[in-house]
């Protein structure tokens, strides 16, 4: 196969990426043998929790990616085989030249064509902005269907977003009105004054560290059907911090709808966690915004929205030594729209509260669910 259209979703909104490979079969780019179904690639199918290397699955970043037979492409990716790697952008056409070495032995498989940090990922976030006005925070997103609240659980990279999401899940359980809207990207739009939050990824890459029996117990309780790697044993892949990452499914906790809208009474809560082993856990606190000022919050949220679009680090693919970067000018074309959307989200019409969270992950693992009780009381929710 030398051509395919990949459809990427946020809620029921989607963008189409036409991909053409002129000098090699597409299957090779997806770690498949020629003639295999693209849908069976480790990048496109549901990841298996017991295999840490499958954290590169695109489904740990976005809601869904499908191979479709028809569509109007929002972007075109042309892949060529060549000795001099290069990436060129002309309008909505991206021309990518890869060497055989990069294709078969990339430095980071997450940053390949369809990896969860790769070309399709950054391109999808940009195209969702351009086509649908959807801003995507690097955050998990939660939805309280009873009280009609959407939580954007944001913060800097490694700030503890998964810790807070697991805390929420442990507090309410699977059979409740308190659902996970997205594990990795919080998708939000405000069009003609109407705020909409969209469902996203239903798999999360969770870090497991040696010597954390409480975390292992919590994971077993929340994900009884997932086989977990043992961080204290021999594993296929281990991070530089000693952790083992594994992809888990939150399907039993997942949102019941594609989107939730202010038209139906939904309002927004921004959770701003900083979770670190050096910190002492303190009670959650409301951040009051001074009259006529955002107290640094607007710029922080814009940073969270730009994290995966080249603001915090260049959006390189395959190998940073090959200098294959999606240009910042291209990914930043919708920054004005992002700023307007985020500023509108802080209006009284849409914003219920901003909650600052600071704590030690061991405290959350030791008493899962108890901290969320404090957040619910702070917000005066049932």
DSSP class of residue 280 equals: P
Say which residue, 121 or 49, is predicted with more confidence. 121
- The token duo for 165 is 């999401």
pLDDT of residue 67: 96
Highest mean pLDDT among 154-168, 219-233, 282-296, 364-378: 364-378
Q: How confident is the model at residue 171 (pLDDT cuts 50, 70, 90)?
A: very high
Helix (H, G, I), strand (E, B) or coil at 150: strand
Least confident of 152-156, 198-202, 211-215: 152-156
CB 30, CB 85: distance < 8 Å: no
pLDDT of residue 241: 75
CB 308, CB 139: distance < 8 Å: no
Tell me the helix, strand and coil percentages in the chain, rounded to 5.
30, 30, 40
CB 31, CB 20: distance < 8 Å: no
Q: How confident is the model at residue 116 (pLDDT cuts 50, 70, 90)?
A: very high
Whether this model's pTM surpasses 0.75: yes
pLDDT of residue 310: 66
Q: Is the dihedral of CA 12, 42, 167, 251 positive or negative?
A: positive
Rounded Cα–Cα distance for residues 195 and 189 (Å): 6
Q: What is the domain partition of the chain in residue ranges?
A: 3-133+310-331, 135-305+339-378
Find tokens 């600071």 and name the residue: 358
For residues 203-214, give the mean pLDDT.
88
CB 17, CB 120: distance < 8 Å: yes
Domain 135-305+339-378 has what CATH class? Answer: alpha beta
pLDDT at 312 over 60: no
The model's pLDDT over 174-204, given as tens digits with 9 standing for 90+, comes to 999 999 999 999 999 999 999 999 999 999 9
pLDDT of residue 20: 96
Share the mean pLDDT of the chain.
Answer: 91
Residue 238: exposure state from Cβ atoms within 10 A (0-12, 13-18, ≥19)? middle
pLDDT of residue 231: 84
Q: Which backbone phi and psi does 64 adopt, to 5 degrees?
A: -160, 150
Secondary structure element (H or E) that encloses residue 197, with its range:
strand 194-198
CB 57, CB 247: distance < 8 Å: yes
């Amino acid at each position: 196969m030398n051509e395919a259209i990949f459809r990427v979703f946020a809620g029921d909104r989607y963008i189409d990426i036409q991909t053409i490979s002129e000098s090699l079969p597409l299957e090779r780019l997806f770690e498949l043998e020629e003639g295999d179904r693209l849908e069976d690639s480790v990048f496109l199918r549901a990841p298996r929790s017991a295999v840490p290397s499958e954290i590169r699955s695109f489904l740990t970043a976005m809601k869904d990616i499908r191979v479709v037979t028809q569509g109007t492409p929002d972007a075109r990716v042309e892949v060529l085989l060549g000795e001099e790697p290069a990436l060129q952008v002309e309008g909505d056409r991206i021309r990518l030249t890869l060497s055989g070495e990069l294709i078969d032995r990339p430095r980071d498989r997450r940053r390949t064509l369809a990896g969860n940090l790769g070309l399709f990922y950054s391109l999808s976030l940009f195209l969702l902005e351009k086509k649908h006005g959807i801003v995507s925070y690097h955050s998990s997103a939660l939805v309280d269907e009873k009280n009609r609240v959407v939580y954007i659980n944001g913060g800097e990279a490694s700030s503890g977003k998964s810790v807070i999401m697991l805390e929420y899940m442990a507090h309410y359980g699977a059979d409740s009105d308190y659902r996970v809207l997205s594990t990795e990207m919080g998708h939000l739009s405000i069009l003609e004054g109407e705020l909409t939050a969209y469902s996203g990824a239903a798999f999360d890459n969770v870090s497991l560290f040696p010597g954390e029996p409480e975390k292992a117990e919590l994971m077993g309780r929340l994900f009884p059907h997932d086989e977990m790697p043992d961080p204290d044993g021999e594993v296929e892949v281990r991070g530089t911090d000693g952790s083992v990452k594994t992809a888990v499914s939150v399907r039993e906790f997942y949102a019941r709808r594609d989107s939730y809208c202010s038209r139906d009474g939904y309002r927004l809560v921004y959770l701003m966690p900083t979770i670190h082993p050096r910190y002492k856990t303190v009670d959650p606190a409301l951040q009051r915004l001074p009259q006529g000022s955002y107290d640094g919050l607007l710029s922080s949220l814009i940073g969270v929205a730009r994290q995966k679009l080249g603001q915090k680090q260049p959006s390189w693919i395959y190998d940073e030594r090959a200098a294959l970067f999606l240009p910042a000018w291209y990914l930043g074309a919708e920054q004005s729209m992002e700023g307007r959307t985020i500023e509108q989200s802080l209006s009284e019409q849409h914003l219920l509260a901003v909650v600052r969270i600071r704590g030690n992950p061991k405290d959350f693992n030791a008493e899962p669910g108890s901290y969320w009780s404090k957040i619910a009381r702070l917000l005066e929710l049932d």
